[in-house]
C-alpha cells in the first residue's frame, strides 16, 4: 500500500508539470465510418487516464500525432478485416487496419500494451485486460518515449459473441404499455424481470467492443420476444396483444439498440424460438393455424400442416426485416415447446425454418442466421445443406453422457465442465460454420457468481489443438448471466474473450493473476488465485454427478440439492464410497475459504467491496459442500450405531443451512435462480433449505432416535 501511495504522489507531480500538455489522436481515414467516434472516444478516455493529460481528437491532418488511426486496405490479405498493425516509437503510435473493427481492436491493443508496460507486479505483460484498474498518469513518461515495436494481431475465431440471457427485448421490456403486461420470468414467476433492458444491452455492447467481440443477441426468457410483437404488417394483423402504435414505439427503441451495436462493431441478432408458442390472442384470432380457438394450457403449439401458418410467418419475417435496417441477423432457437418431434412434425419444422430464413433474405440478402437447438433435436447433414448462406449452427457445451451410470442421465446443458463434449465428427459433417455455446456462470448450477474460467479455457483449448479435425468450428459464444458482471466472475468473461481471440497464446493463469493483482493488490493475488483453483478443483468434480448424495440428479440447480432422501436410501458401502469422494472436496473448499479470509486485510481499499463478494462466494460453496459431507457422514454414523455422532453432525448441518438461508435472503438476486435480474424476494433456495431442516428435525426427534437404537440392538 505504501508503494501505491508513492505512485500516486509521483503521478500527481507529473500531472502538475503537464497542465498545458495534451496528447493528439489523428483520425486519418479515406471515409467516414459509424464506428470511428466510439474508437476515438475510447482512445481519448483511456489515454487521458493513463497519461494524466488532456487528449484531443483531430479528424484529419498530416502533422505530428501521438496516435494515428488509418485504414490500410493492403493489410486485409494478411490480417483480414478485423486484424490490425500497431507500430510504436518515440514519434508516437500508428494503428492501421483494413476495416473499422480492426481499428477498434488495434486501439484496444494499444491501450492494453501501454497498461502491460506500465503496471507494476504483473505476472505477465501480455496477459492484460483493458478493464484492469490503473492509476491516473501511470504511463505519462512512457507515452512520451514509447519504445519501438511492431505488433500484428488478428482473431483466431471469426464469430465471437455474447447472448444476453433473459434479455427479451419485448414490447413490455422497452416501453410502458397500456396492457399492463407483467414482466414475469417463466421459470420462477418472479415479477420485474429486466426493468432496464436498453441500458443492459448498451453496457454489454460496450463491453463486447472493448473485448473484441463481433456479435450480440438476446435470449428471451422473461417477458418474451414474440415474433408477432416485433413489427406491424397487414397480413398478420391481430396477432399481438399490443396495439399497432405500441409495437411501433417499441420498434423505434429496438432499432436504436441495433444501431448502437453497429457503432461498436457488433452484428446485432434478434433471438426468438421457432416457431414459438401461440399466445391466447393468436389462438382466438387465427384458430386455423393453432388448431384451437382457446387453450388454457399455454403454451399452445402451432398447426403447421398446410400453407397458412408458413405464409403468415413469412409475411411477419419480411415485416421485421423492413422495420429494422440495422438488424444483422436472426438467432432462431429450435427447442422446448417448439419441438414437434420426429417424422411429419419434424419435416414441417424444417420447412418453416427455411421459409422464414428465405423470407428474411428476400428483404435483406445479407441477413445472417444462428440456428441453435437444431443440433440437439435431431438435425442432420441433409437439413444443414439446405440452410441458406450466412447460416451458423450452434450447440450447447455439456457432459453429453447418457449411458455411463455415474452421470445418471445428465447431458449437455451448459455444465461447468472442462470438456464441451460436442463430437468432432458431428461438427465436421455439418459443413457449416459452427458455434459452441457455454453459459457463464453455468446456467443450472451456480446460484451465486461461480468461477469456471479454468474449465472454459481447457475446453476451448481442446478444440483449438484439434483444429484440423473441426475446420468449420467458427468460435465460442457465451450465454451470459448479466448480473454477475463486475464480480469476481469477470474472470470468466475475460477468459472467454481471450480464448476466442487468441487460443494457444493466452496464459490464463497469468491473466487471472493479473486480474487479482490489479483489483486487490499484489499481496492478495497469490492466495486468491490458489483459492480460485481449489474452488474449481472441487466443483468440477462435484458437478459430474453431485457425488451421488444430492437428492436431485438430473438438474444442476443447487436449490434442488438440499434434502436427505438420496443419502437415506444408500447402502452403507455406497455411503463410504461417496464420503471418500466428497471429503477431499470439502477440504479443498475449506482451505480456499481460509486463504481468501486471511488475505482480506491486505486488499486495496478500492477492491474491498468486490472482495467481500468473493469471500461470500467462497464461504457459500465451502458451507454447501461441507453440509453435504456432514449429511453423508451422519448416516455413516447411523449404520455404525454412533447415534450421538449422527445427531451432532445433523445439528451442524442445520447451523450451516441457516447461514446459507440468510445469504439467500440477503442476496436474492444472486441466490435464487441464475436467470433472474431485479429479483426482490428469494424463493427457491430458502424453501428448499427449510424443507431440509424439517427433514433433519424429523430424523432427530427423540422417538425416531430411540427407534434407530432399537433397530441397531435388534441387528
Is there a contact between 451 and 491 (Cβ–Cβ < 8 Å)? yes
104's CB contacts (< 8 A; 6+ apart) are 35, 38, 39, 42, 209, 264, 265
Q: Across residues 670-674, what is the average pLDDT? A: 46
| Top-confidence range, 193-207, 362-376, 515-529, 543-557 | 515-529
Do 43 and 25 form a contact (C-beta atoms < 8 A)?
A: yes
pLDDT at 1 over 70: no
Q: Look at the block and give the residue holding cell 451410470.
A: 405
530: left (phi over 0), alpha (psi -120 to 50) or beta: alpha
Between 280 and 251, name the one with better pLDDT: 251
Please, which residues bridge with residue 270 across strands? 330
Is residue 84 helix, strand or coil? strand
Phi and psi dihedrals of 363, rounded to 5? -85, -45
Q: Please, are residues 163 and 201 in contact by the beta-carbon 8 Å criterion?
A: no
Separation of alpha carbons 341 and 334, rounded Å: 11
**Per the omega criterion (within 30 degrees of 0), is the bond before 446 cis?**
no
| Burial (0-12, 13-18, 19+ Cβ within 10 Å), 186 | middle
2-153, CATH topology level: Chitobiase; domain 2 (3.30.379)
For the record, the C-alpha cell of 639 comes out as 449404520
- Quick one: 63 exposed, middle or buried, by C-beta within 10 A (0-12, 13-18, 19+)? exposed
pLDDT tens, position by position, 126-143: 999 999 999 999 999 999
How far lies 507's CA from each of 17, 144, 195, 353, in Å? 38, 30, 38, 41
602-648: pLDDT as tens digits? 999 999 988 988 898 899 899 999 999 999 999 999 999 999 999 99
CA 158 – CA 572 distance, rounded (Å): 53
Which alpha helices (DSSP H) does 298-380 contain, by range?
308-323, 344-363
Say if residues 613 and 487 touch (Cβ distance below 8 Å): yes
Cell numbers representing residue 239 in the block: 396477432
C-beta of residue 627 within 8 angstroms of C-beta of residue 582: no
The per-residue pLDDT for 11 is 45
Report whether pLDDT(175) > 90.
Answer: no
- Note the pLDDT of residue 132: 96
Give the H or E element holding residue 245: helix 244-263
Give dist(CA 398, CA 455) in Å, integer: 11
Reading the block at residue 190, the C-alpha cell is: 418472479
C-alpha of 304 from chain center: 34
% pLDDT > 90, the chain = 58
CA–CA dist 678, 172 (Å, integer): 15
Give the pLDDT confidence score for residue 257 in this predicted structure. Answer: 97
Q: Which strands form 84-89's sheet, in the order they lie side by side?
A: 54-58, 22-28, 67-71, 92-97, 84-89, 149-153
Phi, psi (rounded to 5 degrees) for 35: -85, -20
| SS3 of residue 337 by DSSP | helix
For residues 267 and 261, what is the distance between their CA atoms, to the nearest angstrom? Answer: 7
pLDDT at 488 over 80: no
Rounded to the nearest 5 percent, the helix, strand and coil shares of the chain are 50, 10, 35
Q: Are strands 391-396 and 161-165 parallel, antiparallel or unpaired?
A: unpaired
Winning range, highest mean pLDDT, from 34-38, 192-196, 262-266, 605-609: 262-266
Q: What pLDDT does residue 224 have?
A: 56
Confidence of residue 49 (pLDDT cuts 50, 70, 90): very high
pLDDT at 681: 66
The runs of H, that is alpha helices, within 546-607 are 565-568, 572-599
- Cα 10 to chain centroid distance, Å, stands at 39
* Alpha helical stretches, state H, 521-642: 522-545, 565-568, 572-599, 608-639
Boundaries of every domain in the chain: 2-153, 529-714
Q: What is the pLDDT of residue 188?
A: 44
Average pLDDT over residues 387-412: 69
Mean pLDDT score of the chain = 85
Residue 4 has pLDDT above 60, yes or no: no
Who contacts 541 (Cβ-Cβ below 8 Å, separation ≥6)? 547, 581, 585
Strand 329-333 and strand 267-273: the pairing is parallel
Distance of CA 385 to the CA centre of its chain: 30
Whether 536 shows a pLDDT value over 70: the answer reads yes
pLDDT surpasses 70 at 671: no
**How confident is residue 407, by pLDDT bands cut at 50, 70 and 90?**
very low
Return the closest-CA partner of residue 35 out of 108, 85, 110.
108
Q: What is the pLDDT of residue 672?
A: 43
Amino acid at each position: 500500500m505504501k508503494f501505491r501511495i508513492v505512485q500516486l504522489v509521483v503521478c500527481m507531480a507529473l500531472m502538475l508539470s503537464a497542465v498545458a500538455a495534451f496528447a493528439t489522436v489523428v483520425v486519418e481515414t479515406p471515409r467516414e465510418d459509424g464506428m470511428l467516434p466510439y474508437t476515438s472516444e475510447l482512445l481519448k478516455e483511456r489515454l487521458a487516464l493513463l497519461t494524466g493529460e488532456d487528449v484531443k481528437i483531430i479528424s484529419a491532418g498530416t502533422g505530428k500525432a501521438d496516435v494515428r488511426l488509418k485504414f490500410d486496405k493492403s493489410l486485409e490479405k494478411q490480417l483480414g478485416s478485423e486484424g490490425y498493425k500497431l507500430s510504436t516509437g518515440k514519434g508516437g503510435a500508428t494503428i492501421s487496419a483494413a476495416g473499422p473493427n480492426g481499428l477498434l481492436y488495434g486501439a484496444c491493443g494499444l491501450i492494453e500494451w501501454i497498461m502491460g508496460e506500465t503496471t507494476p507486479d504483473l505476472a505477465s505483460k501480455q496477459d492484460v485486460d483493458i478493464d484492469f484498474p490503473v492509476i491516473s498518469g501511470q504511463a505519462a513518461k512512457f507515452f512520451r518515449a514509447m519504445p519501438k515495436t511492431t505488433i500484428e494481431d488478428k482473431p483466431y475465431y471469426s464469430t465471437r459473441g455474447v447472448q444476453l440471457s433473459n434479455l427479451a427485448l419485448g414490447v413490455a421490456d422497452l416501453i410502458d404499455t397500456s396492457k399492463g403486461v407483467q414482466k414475469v420470468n417463466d421459470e420462477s414467476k418472479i415479477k420485474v424481470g429486466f426493468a432496464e433492458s436498453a441500458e443492459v444491452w448498451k453496457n454489454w455492447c460496450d463491453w463486447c467492443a472493448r473485448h473484441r467481440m463481433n456479435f450480440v443477441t438476446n435470449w428471451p426468457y422473461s417477458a418474451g420476444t414474440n415474433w408477432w410483437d416485433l413489427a406491424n404488417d397487414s397480413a398478420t394483423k391481430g396477432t399481438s396483444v399490443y396495439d399497432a402504435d405500441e409495437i411501433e414505439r417499441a420498434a423505434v427503441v429496438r432499432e436504436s439498440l441495433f444501431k448502437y451495436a453497429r457503432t461498436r462493431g457488433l452484428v446485432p441478432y434478434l433471438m426468438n424460438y421457432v416457431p414459438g408458442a401461440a399466445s391466447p390472442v393468436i389462438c382466438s384470432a387465427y384458430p386455423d393455424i393453432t388448431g384451437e380457438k382457446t387453450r388454457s394450457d399455454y403454451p399452445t403449439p402451432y398447426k403447421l400442416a398446410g400453407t397458412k401458418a408458413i405464409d403468415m410467418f413469412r409475411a411477419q419475417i419480411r415485416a421485421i426485416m423492413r422495420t429494422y435496417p440495422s438488424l444483422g441477423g436472426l438467432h432462431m432457437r429450435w427447442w422446448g415447446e417448439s419441438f414437434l418431434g420426429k417424422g411429419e412434425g419434424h419435416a414441417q419444422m424444417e420447412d418453416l425454418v427455411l421459409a422464414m430464413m428465405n423470407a428474411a433474405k428476400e428483404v435483406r440478402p445479407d441477413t445472417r442466421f444462428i440456428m441453435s437447438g437444431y443440433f440437439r433435436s435431431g438435425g442432420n447433414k441433409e437439413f444443414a445443406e439446405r440452410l441458406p448462406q450466412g447460416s451458423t449452427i450452434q450447440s450447447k457445451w455439456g457432459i453429453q453422457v447418457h449411458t455411463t451410470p455415474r452421470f445418471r442421465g445428465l447431458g449437455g446443458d451448459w455444465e461447468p465442465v472442462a470438456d464441451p463434449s460436442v463430437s468432432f465428427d458431428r461438427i465436421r459433417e455439418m459443413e457449416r460454420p459452427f458455434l459452441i455455446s457455454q453459459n457463464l456462470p453455468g446456467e443450472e448450477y451456480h446460484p451465486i457468481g461461480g468461477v469456471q474460467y479454468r474449465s472454459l479455457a481447457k475446453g476451448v483449448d481442446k478444440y483449438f489443438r484439434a483444429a484440423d479435425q473441426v475446420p468449420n468450428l467458427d468460435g465460442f459464444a457465451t450465454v451470459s448471466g448479466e448480473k454477475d458482471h463486475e464480480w469476481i466472475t469477470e474472470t470468466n468473461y475475460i477468459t472467454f474473450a481471450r480464448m476466442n481471440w487468441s487460443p494457444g497464446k493466452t496464459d490464463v493463469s497469468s491473466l487471472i493473476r493479473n486480474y487479482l493483482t490489479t483489483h486487490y493488490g499484489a499481496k492478495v493475488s497469490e492466495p486468491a488465485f490458489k483459492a480460485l483453483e481449489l474452488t474449481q478443483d472441487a466443483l468440477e468434480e462435484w458437478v459430474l454427478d453431485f457425488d451421488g448424495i444430492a437428492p436431485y440428479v438430473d438438474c444442476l440447480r443447487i436449490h434442488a440439492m438440499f434434502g436427505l432422501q438420496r443419502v437415506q436410501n444408500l447402502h452403507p458401502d455406497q455411503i463410504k464410497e461417496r464420503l471418500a469422494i466428497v471429503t477431499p472436496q470439502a477440504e479443498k473448499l475449506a482451505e480456499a475459504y481460509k486463504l481468501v479470509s486471511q488475505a482480506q486485510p491486505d486488499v486495496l481499499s478500492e477492491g474491498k467491496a468486490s472482495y467481500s463478494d468473493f469471500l461470500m462466494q467462497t464461504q457459500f460453496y465451502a458451507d454447501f459442500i461441507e453440509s453435504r459431507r456432514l449429511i453423508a457422514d451422519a448416516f455413516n454414523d447411523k449404520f455404525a450405531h454412533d447415534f450421538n455422532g449422527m445427531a451432532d453432525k445433523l445439528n451442524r448441518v442445520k447451523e450451516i443451512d441457516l447461514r446459507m438461508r440468510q445469504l439467500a435472503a440477503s442476496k436474492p438476486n444472486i441466490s435464487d435462480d441464475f436467470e433472474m435480474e431485479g429479483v426482490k424476494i428469494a424463493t427457491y433456495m430458502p424453501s428448499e433449505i427449510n424443507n431440509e431442516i424439517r427433514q433433519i428435525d424429523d430424523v432427530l426427534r427423540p422417538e425416531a432416535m430411540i427407534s434407530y437404537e432399537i433397530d441397531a440392538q435388534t441387528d
